[in-house]
Amino acid sequence: GENVEQHPSTLSVQEGDSAVIKCTYSDSASNYFPWYKQELGKGPQLIIDIRSNVGEKKDQRIAVTLNKTAKHFSLHITETQPEDSAVYFCAASWGNTGNQFYFGTGTSLTVIP
Amino acid sequence: GAVVSQHPSRVICKSGTSVKIECRSLDFQATTMFWYRQFPKQSLMLMATSNEGSKATYEQGVEKDKFLINHASLTLSTLTVTSAHPEDSSFYICSAQRTGSEKLFFGSGTQLSVL
């Protein structure tokens, strides 16, 4: 089955700096890679996703890059703000309805004002 | 955006009682819903996959007779924790996958505390 590894487990950055979280996956059949933000006591929120036919996707301060050959993808947050502080999870899936999602172990991001 | 409503958000019950958690997709149809359990500072642990109109598929180690899942419509799935015990105390989260799409949206979670 698929194995998704995520690093780092914790990350602290100064407000305004960039944050990068990296994930690797093992199954080359995975073709859909979402990122989720989870605040304390809440469910994960989809913040950005990418399909395997795309190398990069941006949405304002958030971007995701994918390297299919190396089987890794990364989340980039620029100009971080205190409200970006949360736990971030990456995931990999075969991308069709009903297929299981495999989640990374999470990264606790703290943005220091 | 896609909204998944999960209720209750918090429940405290006595040992031996049953608790039902509801998960509704409010503005889309979801053929598939997933139920997860999450321990503090840990990732999401898949409990079962629920397909509308079919029996749920449980992950290894998850007791199907203890965690009853019903997915009777394209917008509603329920998880019933039967004869709850303190070790069942956890954060339970549902997710719904929009029919025909790969996108997965989560409910807000239910914190279950069994006394």
Q: What is the pLDDT along chain A (113 residues), one digit of tens a residue?
A: 889 999 999 999 999 999 999 999 999 999 999 999 999 999 999 999 999 988 999 999 999 999 999 999 999 999 999 999 999 999 999 877 778 899 999 999 999 99
Residue B57, chain A, CB below 8 Å: the answer is no
Residues of A within an 8 Å Cβ radius of B = 32, 34, 36, 41-46, 49, 51, 89, 91, 93, 95-101, 103-106, 108
Residue B101: per-residue pLDDT = 87
Average pLDDT of the segment spanning B42-70 = 93
Tokens representing A108? 């606790």
Residue B14: per-residue pLDDT = 96
Tokens representing A91? 């995931």
Q: Given a cut of 90, is residue B52 above it in pLDDT?
A: no
Residue environment code for B10-31, b if the CB has 16+ CB neighbours within 10 A, otherwise e: ebebeeeeebebbbbbeebebb
Residue B74, chain A, CB below 8 Å: the answer is no
Alpha helices in A22-84 (DSSP H): none
Which DSSP category does B109 fall into? -
**CB pairs below 8 Å between A and B: how many?**
61
| Span B83-103, pLDDT tens digits | 999 999 999 999 999 888 889
Contact: A100, B31; criterion CB under 8 Å: no
Query: How high is the mean pLDDT of chain B?
Result: 94
Tell me which residue has tokens 């502080």: A85
Q: One-letter amino acid identity for A68?
A: K
Residue B96: name the closest of B48, B50, B38, B30 by CA.
B30
Residue B25: per-residue pLDDT = 95
Residue A96: per-residue pLDDT = 74
